[in-house]
Structure formats: C-alpha cells, structure tokens
Amino acid sequence: MSADDPVARAVEVLLAGGLVGLPTETVYGLAVDASNPAAVARMFAAKGRPADHPVIVHLAEARAIADWAVDIPAAAWQLAAAFWPGPLTIILKRAPHVADAITGGQDTVGLRVPAHPVAHAVLAAFARARAGRPAGVAAPSANTFGRVSPTTAAHVREEFGDAVDFVLDGGQSAVGIESTIVDLSSGAARVLRPGRITAAQVAAVLGSAGAAGAVPSPVPRVSGALDSHYAPRTPTLLVAGADLPAWLDAHAGRRVALLSPAAPARDGVLHWPAPADAEVYAHALYATLRAMDAAGCDLIVVQAPPQGGAWDGVNDRLRRAAHPAPA
C-alpha cells in the first residue's frame, strides 16, 4: 500500500531510522526522526557535518513546540501565529529530552513548522504514528556540508545518491533560500539568519519589546554563518554593477558565467538573467548557481544585487558563496 503513497512510505522510512529527502518551501531537507540518535548520527555522517552544529526540528503544528522547548516566551506564540506554517525558525530553550546531537550541545533548540503541503502531510502522519510521544523531524538542508542547498528532488539525489533512503518529490521549493532564524532563547529577539521573512516583519509582529534586537547578527553557532558556506565549486565573486564592464574587460581571457540583470556585450561570457524582484531572485538562486557551476567556466561572477530588507537573505547567501575571493 505504501508503495503507492509516497507520504506513507516516507513516514515508514523515518520510523525505521532512515533518511528522507523532504521538500519544504525553503529548500529540501535531509530528514530523520529527531528522537532516534542512530538516525541523527547517520544524517550527520551523510552530510559530512561537524557534530557541534545544531539542526532544526520540524513540527506539524505550532502547539507541538511545547514538546521540545521550555520557558516559551509570548513572543514565540506571536511569531508562530504570524508566520507558521512558513519559512521561519524559532530558537528556544530546549526541553530536557532533546538530544545533544540535535542542539549541538547547546541548551537551545531550533523549531520550525514548514508550509509545504508534502512536508506538512509527512509531519502530520509522523505525529500520528508517534501516538502522543514528541514527534519531530530533524532536517538540515539536504546538501553535503558547505555546498549549495538543494531546491529540487533531483538536487538531493545528486548530493546523496544511495546514502538517502527515499526522496519525496515536491517540485521546486517556492522560497528558494533557507528559513529566517530568530533567537528567542535569551532576552530580545535576534535574527541569526535572514530569509524571506525580514527582520522588519519580525519586529513589526513583536512590537517595541522585540524590535530592538531584531536585526541581522550572525553568531558562530549558526553553521550558515561560517565562511565559505553555500559555495559552488567554481570560484565565485560578487562585482558591483558599476564596476562590471571594466572587470569583464580586464578578464577578457577568462570563461565567465555571469548572473546580472542585463546581458553584457562580451564574447566568452555565459549569461544568466538576474531577476529584479528579491523573492523571484531567491527562488531561482540555488538552481542558478548549480547550473552556472556545471557550465565549466573559470569563474562565476554575480553582479551585486540591491541592498535593503527584502534582499538581506539573498545578499547573505551570495556573500558566503563568494568567499574567499578568488585570485
């Protein structure tokens, strides 16, 4: 029966301690049962991820955060009501049963209720199967450590091959970049990772109480805050639009894959059009970087996008993709 029902099959694999490629509206996750230490260890090994990097626990509904966190502030329920299901992760004080492997040994846990209908169906069926016990699915982005995140089922299969037990196909992720992370575990809210939901939107919901700290401020314990994250294999650099013509002239001998709003009048440049809208840009970003990486050029050049709230997530990912600057 479950052979015909991918959601039921995914739940079976999770319950058996396996790894599932799970579509979400942000990026695809490499999902395991968060209460199964052996499964969590397999997931870390498949990703090649250092053990002290915490992973997000995905839940079917907001009220389940009480199964995973303690001392939950009113701000958590306010953000949950405003943005869940959706591309937001909330960091809270962890409940005692939450494994060190999930939290990276910290006293906090990251929680998210995704909006993708396939993810939601899996999480809801998983919760029913857990029959009242805490039901959480730990899922980092389904890329090997430091590489570009996947936004299609095919990307997940490319990254992991047989190391992933089952990949659910939920189409191309709508948001395209990882969730906004807001830390509510100590005092004022802080945005640890920008995403589709902006710091200004978070501050608007929390009012003056939460607004003060709601600005992007990456901390080292967020793995995405490491240098050289989300990186293509081809050396990648960001160039300001005003500098681009001169840069292309100075590098006329190089084969360049260029992501920019306007096609350049240059030979030897493969051009990908850069969307003018931040959400459209984010939606296509990782698939575009993968395609540019596969083009076999000497360099990937990205014309720096605009600055400002809606672009924070895109600019954050591009800065990491472009580090360190190639010679």
Q: To the nearest whole angstrom, how small is the minimum distance from the Cβ of residue 118 to ligand TXA?
A: 12
Binding-site size, ligand TXA (CB under 6 A): 27
Q: Which residue has the tokens 């910290």?
A: 106
Separation between Cα atoms, residue 205 and residue 208, nearest integer Å: 9
106 binds, among ligand TXA, Mg ion, none (CB under 5 to 8 A by kind): ligand TXA
Q: Which stretch binds Mg ion (CB under 5 A): 84-92, 110-118, 134-142, 304-312?
A: 134-142
Cα separation of 242 and 193, whole Å?
A: 28
Binding partner of 55, given ligand TXA, Mg ion, none, CB within 5-8 angstroms per partner class: ligand TXA
Site for ligand TXA in 79-118 (CB under 6 A): 89, 91, 103, 106, 108-110, 112
Q: In Å, how far are 99, 213, 321, 323 from 39, measured between CA atoms? A: 12, 36, 29, 32
C-alpha 221/C-alpha 219 separation (Å) is 6
Q: Which does 57 bind (CB under 5 to 8 A by kind): Mg ion, ligand TXA, none?
A: none
Asked if 196 contacts 278 with a C-beta cutoff of 8 angstroms, the reply is: no
180: contact with Mg ion by CB under 5 A = no
55 binds ligand TXA (CB under 6 A): yes
* Core vs surface per residue 149-175: b (16+ CB within 10 A) or e: bbbbbebbbebbeeebbbbbebebbbb
Of 118-126, 138-146, 249-257, 259-267: span binding Mg ion (CB under 5 A)? 138-146
In whole angstroms, the minimum distance from the beta carbon of 176 to Mg ion comes to 13
End-to-end CA distance of the chain: 56
- Number of residues that this document lists for the chain: 327
173: contact with Mg ion by CB under 5 A:
no
Which residues from 215-274 bind Mg ion, rule CB under 5 A?
A: none
Q: Residue 53 corresponds to which tokens in the numbers above?
A: 């990097």
Write the DSSP assignment of 218-266 as a string of letters.
--TTSGGGSTT-SB-SS-EEEE-GGGHHHHHHHTTTS-EEEEESS--S-
Q: How many residues bind Mg ion (CB under 5 A)?
A: 1
Residue 27 interacts, among Mg ion, ligand TXA, none and using kind-specific CB cut-offs from 5 to 8 Å, with ligand TXA
- With contacts defined by CB under 5 A, name the span among 17-25, 68-76, 135-143, 244-252 that binds Mg ion: 135-143
Given 141, 179, 185, 198, the residue binding Mg ion (CB under 5 A): 141
Contact track, ligand TXA, 114-153, x by CB under 6 A: -------------------------xxx------------
**Could you count the other beta carbons within 10 Å of the beta carbon of residue 207?**
10
* Cα–Cα dist 247/301, whole Å: 10
Task: List contacts with Mg ion (CB under 5 A).
Answer: 141
Task: List contacts with ligand TXA (CB under 6 A).
Answer: 24, 26-27, 29, 53-56, 89, 91, 103, 106, 108-110, 112, 139-141, 178-179, 181, 192, 221-224
